[in-house]
Structure 1
């Protein structure tokens, strides 16, 4: 028997703790592990065991990712186990461990539950409780609970929660798509009288969305809930218990107010013990009122949201009069859990913020978000509380009204997000760079909560399309987010159809922006499906989203017309360019028309590629021809005969290079000019949302590794590592969300947890460490490390579709030593400096090549020293800056910010507008450096 070990198979959308599969024919995936090098799968056998018995299917070939379901379609509530074994050159493997599954979907027509709520609610989004008692006969074999809400809900059976999921059913465009949860509650029921209890509040459904004090309710004033319980007996009979007028409701529960932005108010004195158990006397409860019918919900295909980690208080920063300021050491998304003892009526208030402002919570960036929870004690024994119907983005918390002696161990931060499997990691010899990568990870964790949001703390938390368009590749490496983004893309297309092909700024489209086409944001419709195909091998997403891709591209081509350029109209452009003022983040150096024209080409090109993948040859040729017309028009319109782009800025050149708009020799010219601009700006970043994910890629693609390294490792503001040097533990929205003096950026739009600028992580994985996908789903890995100057080592690991992949390199004398692990049933294309590309099979590998780093020559700094000689020698630059700071820190800061490090200018010219007495003092301070 083969020594190959096969993983327990993974069923599509079947990675939840409950093992739910949301489709009748789930695709099957597995990985193989073996020490046999160059091992390839020749065939596989899949075994299915259900109540009907065991059957198997043999499939030939090496496919082990997203295999079509080889059996008859599953039926609702069907359960069973799937195993796999594989055959290779060494024969058949043993069978894998089984994967248990439960078919979580409903049959057509089975959903027949009323949405219920309060008859006469007294206030906006008033929380309520609902309950129903029912009888269960002897011989129960299976009990399945399905539920959804226009709002958010918690469900319990006989006093026990049905699961640990939070804020169910999440946020979708409620008028277009609803999700239902599915829970096996057989073990929670007993013969005789039983009870179901529901706690319901508004959540996103009743939230007020909008800006400039114009926020308004989009979906509905009041929440409602719907659920149905399916009972199966050993005699073959079935029963349904569905929400409707027979249920009882009350607004006298312990939740007195709640909201996504507001927070939650909970009064434990109002708890009605046993309200969700059989035999409860529902005094004062009223019959439920059927509400306006919602859509028929569909089974969940994305990961559940739950508590994934708990963090203790790191430090108590201050206290007084029952008030305590707590630091958890990490900006996170979640809630506080407290254990407290006091008198009835004592109220503990929990406030949250990401940063401090003059030693107190920095709440200005929260804008209208109250971000406050209150807990009123019932009194007596110790009581435990964590909010149920809200979440917060915070590192710091203020706890006030605490009765008695405070113990920091009584407060714990619970981290909450969509429960995805972590897949990717990165490490280097630079600790600041490692912290930057960790900040990217935490930023993703905080903003992947049912949908990809822009920020988790203020009065926004919306599914901004531009943010995930640029961050998608990084996200796909860090976590197994295929199902998560697949689900969100369904909403993109639903909203898009309502908007006539336009893609909204945010999805769900609570800003009603779908009729305002905007580059880089709307292009998520074409970019993200292809990312999921390239990184996960998920062609089905491309198949389903292809009409969305076409609709968006067709709309843009119509706007472009005979000029083949996307000109004018509303554009975000290179959002939060570091030179943009705090009050106008769209005012960037790169012209919006340059950006929109580039993305028009990008979307037409991607749609052509998608058509080709799907076998639509004629459509592919048509879109490819249109893309070429757009490319030529862009070059003709925006590129001078000398090879300069009219917007002479980093983002413009990065777009042209990364999107393939520039052919040789223009691409080489663009690369040289981009490198000059990076040097001119003192190796500080000069891009916003659009250019940031592309600029380092463009530099290394055109051979400017040194400039890319200096840009990446820069710590001055603006730069990636500036925020790290300022103590950031997540990615900021602005390069200077926190100013060098520690104060908060004065702009109204300042978030300290915003993953967009962390999109550089994808380049760090692929280029710095050298681990990328050469074919869809990493069937063929691309190993292409670029040992950058300033780094002694780097590594990346990825738990990929075919198994663990690892690439690392380290400097060893005058050589670079590269190590790699390629998983079985796949291979790699290896690109190493100075060596022709070659292929490597699965297994462990080591290679060495000569280091090509150039050691900068010595520079003596005088008034006639060219600026480019100073900036290109990092030691000389740092010596000049330190000397200047010792003379006059304020002047040094101004000099550093405004100096353009360009050819043809020496230090004398740069000092020409500075007081004449300063230069001699700076040169005097430089004597030690020059002597050395």
Structure 2
């Protein structure tokens, strides 16, 4: 009877959709070029265009599109002087190749699109959007400028020059980069709203420049161009052992402004030998250690017009760095986001004045103060207080995380860093000249500007806090590169962490541009033998490469990008890197067994303090390596199939068969027991299909028995954790997966939540039940790897999955368990928002689903016990199901 009702309901909905869709308005929105909105430095010679359809109707598909492109926005609106006009009958609306005349470097192009749907509706033309092509090496006329002599000062050098423009400005674009970090100004106004530019890349291979529309900053008459530099990743302290000047020892600036005048003429303004340089108030800047700023040394007006004191400034030098490695931005810039007021200011038992912001975050503190000239105020940052409630910094290792300000005096002053960021919840304030109040401090959150795409909420508050912690861990560690942690003297792009967390990251935020940029560094820093360094960009020793689960980032994330965004070009770009990694493993293998070299293994797995009975969940590292060898080979086969590389698909398919045979012969007993009988061992064997099919069910039973033997606790580390609940669900043990997820005692996902965590911890027991800490030299409280469970929560609790690359086809399949009475989730795909809400009410499972235009979905509806799934195929629109 319930099934009959559901079928009738769906039939009614589909009938309604056919009746009502034609009456609904159709429009086009969210136009993008290469995953970016109105980008100004596009690198690919053939950019790709994407858009979304908007319609309140149901069963809406794009039947055809028309794109038009012009170099003149006004003419484009009239449909005149078009550079390219293309009409195609297709439902493709994502990553469509530009196919017009060759595009010119530095030229801006305007574009619109309109579509027709399957009901005969035609949208209006979209709003006008644009993109601007990047510069080629030959287009650079600016000269690199630096201080004279050796660049040994800790202070930040400032550069300036005034230009006089005799004509009225129509438009202007500034192209800027630096060796080190820069902040640029035009007429006293900061250029752009980004921080830590030009970003961190594999500088020896490619250095990003940023392009800015500065039309509103430049005027007819006198104009002042200026910039200040800092060490950053290029020259500053990076990685371990106080390493400095890893990429170079001289900070330098390159700035070129292209000006178009209203009379049709053009002028190029550049950095050259006529610029001047001096040092000012920023005495020291370091990512790890913070900044020292002496406001008494400020050169008032230095970045504006009419500054006379520059006659005492020094001449610049002109280092010959060339332009061949310069590339435009392909990912999001780091920008300011939330502003968080201090919850309270208090004194610790040791007498320190400390502010609590209530959230472990990444960014800096904006300080408001007033006091006598020369007053020294120091802000120290940390994540946790110790058991006694005192300020605790031991887990920062050698990183100071400290900003020091000297007041100019007798006026209201506002301080915040320029080129440093901190990871913190608590701030210790020393030397504040007045009574410190919470409103005197504001925490400013900074991270790469990724659009939020996912939402997730349930009837369980602890689970909701876990999702909050996962999201904030991502914010704090996606600061231009995917770092392991944002606070101690590390902050590196560890490849194992990144690959483990990719799927979750892609649900929470649009990471298409972020990882497109970072994968260029993966490819650039890959060694000639095909091995992948432990961290990207690579700032470690040459031998630090080639570990299982870490180097596999070369295959896991490119394939993940294809699944999430349908981005075939990322596979084309990264294919050689993927292949080189697999070939590297093969070259290190003996008889198809990867049992050589250094491996981290299942990093930070469960390891109790008093392990007298062998309870530590140690998994053979070579056994793990063999599983990842198979997985990377499978992903390479997948990529070869997508790219039409049939011979290589066949070659690596044969290799995969040999890899799995070798695994079975080496690590599996005839009865189906693995050499390492740990959760991670069984999880990886089942996730990557290492076992004969007839032995998989019993292996899953062994996994369940292991979990129950540990009292429904997980014992996995960085490599086993991402797949643990997925494997349990796949083999029919959804109840055990929920038991693990809802476990509140150590080790578990919810134990840190119960202990007050607001981000994901590096260790399952970063703070022990008695309030003491884990090993301080490796105990971060903002370390996203274990947040990989978010992928399972989206796929299984919210029930949102991609059934085809880029979510062109969708699966909605929520699961019941964990005593949840309701859950809801959404994902803003490249086609639009997918939304799913379910609740259990009156012993019935009630489900509401929203599917975006131009997609289809298979919906699986369980009953209130999570059983007896019924399947339905639907198109766009909102639908309600009940069973």
TM-score (normalizing by structure 2): 0.92
Deviation, structure 1 residue 581 = 6.4
Matched, 1:481 2:511: yes
Matched, 1:246 2:269: no
**Structure 2 matches for 1:442-481, cutoff 5 A?**
442-481=472-511
User: What is the aligned partner in structure 1 of residue 291 from structure 2?
Assistant: 264
For 2:824 and 2:31, the matched residues in 1 are separated by 27
Deviation, structure 1 residue 605 = 0.7
The equivalent position to 1:429 in structure 2, one of 438, 459, 463, is 459
User: What is the aligned partner in structure 1 of residue 406 from structure 2?
Assistant: 376
SS of 1:169 mapped into structure 2: coil
For 1:691 and 1:3, the matched residues in 2 are separated by 48
Are the counterparts in 1 of residues 715 and 747 from structure 2 also a CA contact under 8 Å?
A: yes
Are the counterparts in 2 of residues 501 and 548 from structure 1 also a CA contact under 8 Å?
A: yes
Matched, 1:790 2:819: yes
Deviation, structure 1 residue 235 = 4.3
User: What is the aligned partner in structure 1 of residue 146 from structure 2?
Assistant: 117
User: What is the aligned partner in structure 2 of residue 656 from structure 1?
Assistant: 685
SS of 2:820 mapped into structure 1: coil
User: What is the aligned partner in structure 2 of residue 394 from structure 1?
Assistant: 424
Deviation, structure 1 residue 651 = 0.5
Are the counterparts in 2 of residues 499 and 514 from structure 1 also a CA contact under 8 Å?
A: no
Matched, 1:742 2:771: yes
User: What is the aligned partner in structure 1 of residue 303 from structure 2?
Assistant: 276
Are the counterparts in 2 of residues 582 and 746 from structure 1 also a CA contact under 8 Å?
A: no
The equivalent position to 2:259 in structure 1, one of 223, 227, 231, is 231
User: What is the aligned partner in structure 1 of residue 33 from structure 2?
Assistant: 12
Matched, 1:209 2:243: no
For 2:227 and 2:609, the matched residues in 1 are separated by 48
SS of 2:194 mapped into structure 1: coil
Structure with larger RCO (C-alpha < 8 A, sep 6+) = 2
For 1:652 and 1:739, the matched residues in 2 are separated by 27
**Structure 2 matches for 1:310-389, cutoff 5 A?**
310-318=339-347, 324-357=353-386, 358-389=388-419
Deviation, structure 1 residue 303 = 0.5
For 1:637 and 1:392, the matched residues in 2 are separated by 47
Deviation, structure 1 residue 325 = 0.5
TM-score (normalizing by structure 1): 0.87
SS of 2:91 mapped into structure 1: coil
For 2:95 and 2:342, the matched residues in 1 are separated by 43
Are the counterparts in 1 of residues 239 and 492 from structure 2 also a CA contact under 8 Å?
A: no
Matched, 1:162 2:184: no
What per-residue deviation string (whole Å, max 9, x for no partner) do you get for residues 887-929 of structure 1? xxxxxxxxxxxxxxxxxxxxxxxxxxxxxxxxxxxxxxxxxxx
Deviation, structure 1 residue 768 = 1.9
The equivalent position to 2:575 in structure 1, one of 539, 546, 552, is 546
SS of 2:424 mapped into structure 1: strand
**Structure 2 matches for 1:697-716, cutoff 5 A?**
697-716=726-745
The equivalent position to 1:669 in structure 2, one of 695, 698, 707, is 698
Are the counterparts in 1 of residues 453 and 829 from structure 2 also a CA contact under 8 Å?
A: yes
What per-residue deviation string (whole Å, max 9, x for no partner) do you get for residues 529-565 of structure 1? 000000111111111000100100111112114x111
For 1:72 and 1:319, the matched residues in 2 are separated by 67
Greater displacement, 327-336 / 84-93: 84-93
What per-residue deviation string (whole Å, max 9, x for no partner) do you get for residues 428-468 of structure 1? 11110110011000000011111111000010000000001
For 1:492 and 1:85, the matched residues in 2 are separated by 38
For 1:104 and 1:324, the matched residues in 2 are separated by 52
Are the counterparts in 2 of residues 151 and 224 from structure 1 also a CA contact under 8 Å?
A: yes
Q: 1:694 to 1:7 in 2, by over 3 A?
A: same
For 1:14 and 1:683, the matched residues in 2 are separated by 42
What per-residue deviation string (whole Å, max 9, x for no partner) do you get for residues 733-753 of structure 1? 000111111222124111000
Greater displacement, 152-161 / 270-279: 270-279
For 2:519 and 2:715, the matched residues in 1 are separated by 31
For 1:21 and 1:410, the matched residues in 2 are separated by 42
Are the counterparts in 1 of residues 187 and 304 from structure 2 also a CA contact under 8 Å?
A: yes
Unpaired segments of 5 or more residues in structure 1? 850-932
Unpaired segments of 5 or more residues in structure 2? 1-21, 862-866
Alignment length (residue pairs): 842
User: What is the aligned partner in structure 2 of residue 45 from structure 1?
Assistant: 66
SS of 1:10 mapped into structure 2: strand
Deviation, structure 1 residue 214 = 5.8
Give the RMSD, CA atoms, in angstroms: 2.1
Are the counterparts in 2 of residues 75 and 103 from structure 1 also a CA contact under 8 Å?
A: no
The equivalent position to 1:761 in structure 2, one of 787, 790, 795, is 790
For 2:274 and 2:289, the matched residues in 1 are separated by 33
SS of 1:241 mapped into structure 2: strand
For 2:671 and 2:25, the matched residues in 1 are separated by 59
For 1:16 and 1:450, the matched residues in 2 are separated by 18
Are the counterparts in 2 of residues 576 and 588 from structure 1 also a CA contact under 8 Å?
A: no
Greater displacement, 767-776 / 3-12: 3-12
Deviation, structure 1 residue 292 = 4.9
Are the counterparts in 2 of residues 126 and 202 from structure 1 also a CA contact under 8 Å?
A: no
Deviation, structure 1 residue 121 = 5.0
Deviation, structure 1 residue 195 = 1.5
Matched, 1:571 2:599: yes
Deviation, structure 1 residue 58 = 1.2
User: What is the aligned partner in structure 2 of residue 616 from structure 1?
Assistant: 645
What per-residue deviation string (whole Å, max 9, x for no partner) do you get for residues 450-508 of structure 1? 11110000100000000011100101111011011011000100111x44311000001
Are the counterparts in 1 of residues 630 and 660 from structure 2 also a CA contact under 8 Å?
A: yes
Are the counterparts in 1 of residues 798 and 823 from structure 2 also a CA contact under 8 Å?
A: yes
Matched, 1:219 2:247: yes
For 2:534 and 2:177, the matched residues in 1 are separated by 26
Matched, 1:420 2:420: no
Q: 1:837 to 1:65 in 2, by over 3 A?
A: same
For 2:555 and 2:163, the matched residues in 1 are separated by 50
